[in-house]
Amino acid sequence: MNTVAEHIADFLKKYPPFDNLTFEELSEIATNIRVVNLEKYKILFQIDDKLHDCFYVVASGVIHLSVIADAEETLLNKCHEGDIFGLRPFFAKNNYMMTAKAREESIIYAIPIATFRPFVANNPNVLDFLLESFATNTNNPNDKNIRGKLLSDNVVYSDQQSSDMQYFQSLTYNRIPLTTTADAIVMDVAKTMAENLSNSIIICNNNNIPIGIVTHTDMSTKIATGRYPITTTIDKIMSNPVVTVVENISLAEAQLVMLKNNVTHLIATIDGTNQSEVKGIISEHDLIVSQANNPGVLIKQIKRTQSAEDLKQLRNRLTDIIQNSIHKNIPLFHVYNIASEINLALIKRSIELAILDLGSPPARFSWLCIGSQGRKEQLLLTDQDSILVFEDVVPDKYREVKDYFLKLAKRSTANLEKIGYSLCPNGHMGSNTLWCKSLIDWTNQYNSWMNTPGKNSNDLSSIFFDYEMAFGESKIEEAIETVIYKNAKNNTLFFDFLGNDALRNNAPLSFFKKFIVEEEGPNKDKFDIKSRALLPLIDSARLFALSYGIKGVNNTYSRFKQLAIADPRNAEIYINCAEAFLTLSKFRTIEGLKNEDNGQYINLNELNKIDKERLKNALTPMRELEELIKDKFQLTQFS
């Protein structure tokens, strides 16, 4: 092996997923790798370019991955030494949907997919890592059409919008397949298959090691057509060698292996090779059945549900999806998107059921989720927050119309409570007469909050600026947005108030970089990750997004990403905050799932040393963010 290839193999061995491969395997890959030198700002590929025959690893330098969304360039990710990017040719057929550009002089290794693919099929850790990297670098709002392309033509695939999960779903398949030996007579085998209602049988040697497979198709194309007599031995018509996989394969891996080998069945064996014992058989039908837990299917079921009790069962399945995603290490941003769509469908159906009870609304209206669901950040079962805005009606109809909507909101929130979303302790719900009113009343409310924040701040909660429409008339939501952004323009007093609000929470770390924990009460010695870490980031992202007039982006992570474009001088701070937000959210979600609560308090004693460091590192960008707020908003009056 030449010294260049040896040097590349040594380099790759240090980084995942290559650390799962032997040095011999890496050496074989390295001899086929091309070395690409990129000058500063040189583009390697851009949106709509034809796919390359390779994927890439950064050997040195920095590569920026960006997309164009809503006429804005959004930075998705920075790839540093050892990072993988450009995985689209592995998983999709359509052109590139992002741009890869060198941020500084860089050296890139181009790894041919044809060379690398054989090492993926038998190594689920490698494939899991590639799938995760692909998902992480695909946070493109326009990039929904690639999901679902992995299925072969005769596998039905559901709803595209929430199909991220199919990459990571576990697979249910037949663990006790039919087996026979090579000398069995075809007629006897056909009888056995018919009696067991099976469309396949595995041919094994005496040690139960697979040597071939016969499917219903083999029977019809080779026996029914008369090419072979029914008295022949089964080995004459079997397909071999068989395609084998490991037992714990995911849905996506199975799809990839089936597509790659152009087969309809896979045989699961103890070690994933055809030299070990048979443990099961996977058919294309199993792929369809395994998609029952697909978010798209779940949303369809929600839409057909007739009671809050049935909705509760479906909400429990969302918890399973979230747990499975966290366990599979799916990027949290994707999990948020999936959970948000399902939560939204549950809220919408709860309102529809209430309307079916009460009869048609007397006026058009909009139900806005506020708070965490308004930001698409609700993974754990937290309390419900909402407002109801109905269109302006003539004065003598006002009381009657408002009464209807209060009843509607009460029934809807009661349905949501049955599903498991507790009522908001602060009463921030459309069922509260304060938060159920006409568009003109809401306009006056926002005018008052934003133009005289000191006077009217008692009932001002900043969550009223995070909203997402769950049901109703989008023009009403747009009218609310117009009022907010009109009032925000050059409104120093309002930003002074919000800026101080964002800084009101106590610091998460002491001067000596120790976690500041609760001193008394039931959560003594625990770390309040919600108040000390997440809320300051949420509040700051909202504050800056409003001040830069960034509309239609309510999610904290996305707000920081957009801010990096709006304010390039401070882009690094915003990107660090975006990553910190995801890390902290994951800590909270894991804690909440473990204790079946809202995950607010972290028991630091249960964290290992690495996790404690990760948690601490995620808190470091907050100091710079605090300085940025003080500098930009010149806080005075409410300090």
Please tell me the distance from the alpha carbon of residue 27 to that of residue 302, in angstroms, as a whole number: 51
Q: In what order do the strands lie in the sheet with 54-60?
A: 34-38, 106-112, 54-60, 84-85
> Does residue 127 sit in the same domain as residue 204?
no
Low-confidence ranges of the chain (pLDDT < 50): 139-168
Structural domain includes residue 321: no
Q: What is the DSSP letter of 212?
A: E
Structural domain includes residue 174: no
Which residue is listed with tokens 């087969």?
263
> Does residue 500 sit in the same domain as residue 615?
yes
The CATH number for 269's domain is: 3.10.580.10
Residue 285: which residues within 8 A CB-CB, separation 6 or more? none
Q: What is the pLDDT of residue 285?
A: 79
Please tell me the distance from the alpha carbon of residue 141 to that of residue 68, in angstroms, as a whole number: 9
Angle value at C-alpha 69, between 550 and 161, nearest 5 degrees? 105
> Does residue 387 sit in the same domain as residue 519?
no
* E-strand stretches of 240-277: 244-246, 265-269
> Does residue 339 sit in the same domain as residue 477?
yes
> Does residue 288 sit in the same domain as residue 298?
no
Sign of the CA dihedral 22, 24, 25, 26? positive
How many domains are contained in the chain?
A: 4
Q: What is the pLDDT of residues 359-413, one digit of tens each?
A: 999 999 999 999 888 998 888 877 889 999 999 999 999 999 999 999 999 999 9
Q: Which of 146, 168, 189 is a domain's end point? A: 146
Element (H, E) at 442: helix 439-451
The CA-based dihedral angle spanning residues 227, 231, 237, 241, taken in that order and rounded to the nearest 10 degrees: -160
Please tell me the distance from the alpha carbon of residue 495 to that of residue 491, in angstroms, as a whole number: 6
Number of other CB atoms surrounding residue 89 within 10 Å: 16
Angle value at C-alpha 290, between 289 and 295, nearest 5 degrees? 110
> Does residue 8 sit in the same domain as residue 140?
yes
> Does residue 437 sit in the same domain as residue 338?
yes
Contact 173, 280 (CB under 8 A): yes
Q: What is the pLDDT of residue 333?
A: 77
Structural domain includes residue 639: no
Number of other CB atoms surrounding residue 24 within 10 Å: 9
Contact 166, 148 (CB under 8 A): yes
The CATH number for 40's domain is: 2.60.120.10
> Does residue 473 sit in the same domain as residue 538?
no
Please tell me the distance from the alpha carbon of residue 14 to that of residue 24, in angstroms, as a whole number: 15
> Does residue 531 sit in the same domain as residue 417?
no
> Does residue 499 sit in the same domain as residue 587?
yes
Structural domain includes residue 541: yes
> Does residue 502 sit in the same domain as residue 560?
yes
Residue 282 forms beta bridges with which residues? 266
The CA-based dihedral angle spanning residues 541, 469, 317, 528, taken in that order and rounded to the nearest 10 degrees: 30
The alpha carbon of 173 is separated from its chain's Cα centroid by a whole number of angstroms, namely 25
Q: Which residues of 202-240 are buried (b: 16+ CB within 10 A; e: fewer)?
A: bbbeeeebbbbbbbeebbeebbeeeebeeeebbbebbee
Q: What is the pLDDT of residues 236-280, one digit of tens each?
A: 999 988 999 888 777 767 877 777 777 889 999 988 888 889 999
Type of residue at 370: I
> Does residue 598 sit in the same domain as residue 527?
yes
Q: Which of 444, 449, 470, 468 is nearest to 460 (CA)?
A: 449
Sign of the CA dihedral 238, 244, 250, 254? negative
Half-sphere exposure (Cβ direction) of 284: Cα atoms closer than 13 Å: 15
Structural domain includes residue 273: yes
The CA-based dihedral angle spanning residues 404, 405, 410, 411, taken in that order and rounded to the nearest 10 degrees: 70
Q: What is the pLDDT of residue 69?
A: 56
| Residue numbers of the domain that contains 304 | 294-315+334-444+464-481
Structural domain includes residue 198: yes
The alpha carbon of 459 is separated from its chain's Cα centroid by a whole number of angstroms, namely 34
Residue 44 forms beta bridges with which residues? none
Q: What is the pLDDT of residue 143?
A: 36
Q: What is the pLDDT of residue 518?
A: 87
Structural domain includes residue 161: no
Number of other CB atoms surrounding residue 57 within 10 Å: 23
Q: What is the pLDDT of residue 140?
A: 38
Q: What is the pLDDT of residue 317?
A: 82
Please tell me the distance from the alpha carbon of residue 466 to that of residue 376, in angstroms, as a whole number: 9
Q: In what order do the strands lie in the sheet with 179-180?
A: 179-180, 200-204, 210-215
Structural domain includes residue 26: yes
Contact 41, 101 (CB under 8 A): yes
Q: Which of 453, 481, 509 is a domain's end point? A: 481
Q: Which of 146, 170, 199 is a domain's end point? A: 146
Residue 146: which residues within 8 A CB-CB, separation 6 or more? 88, 91, 92, 94, 97, 138
Output the pTM of the full model.
Answer: 0.61
